[in-house]
Amino acid sequence: MSKNAPSPLSARPLPVAEDQHVDADLDVALSTPLTLVVNAQLELADLEQRSVQLALVIPRSQCRGERPRLAALLDAAQAAVARATRGGTLHQPRRVLTQVDGEPYLIPLFEAA
């Protein structure tokens, strides 16, 4: 875990196209024929405002090019958060952000705190 300055509170939600694919080019960490890996940052709801780096692993079958279906991205984010927080028993998650062209975007996984 790292102590980082808090992410901008005004992070925009990820845009979603009518076909329910993310409508933005995510900053992809790894792309293989079977998976797409997107980096994300989990912000924890504690006084130290800590964050944890996450790798969201999305099946390529759930993507159109480099753009995953929103449901697949949410599933990957939920799994990564569960691993990082031990199902919420170790840390209380606050929000998950990912990058699009270097700008933070909110993955709509939790209510904003």
Residue ranges of the domains in the chain? 2-6+26-107
So what's the pLDDT on residue 111?
58
The pTM (predicted TM-score) of the whole model is: 0.84
pLDDT per position as a tens digit, 69-106: 999 999 999 999 999 988 766 778 889 999 998 899 99
Q: Taking Cα atoms as reference points, which of 50, 38, 99, 34 lies closest to residue 74?
A: 38
Task: Tell me the one-letter amino acid at 65.
Answer: G
Pairing of strands 12-13, 28-31: unpaired
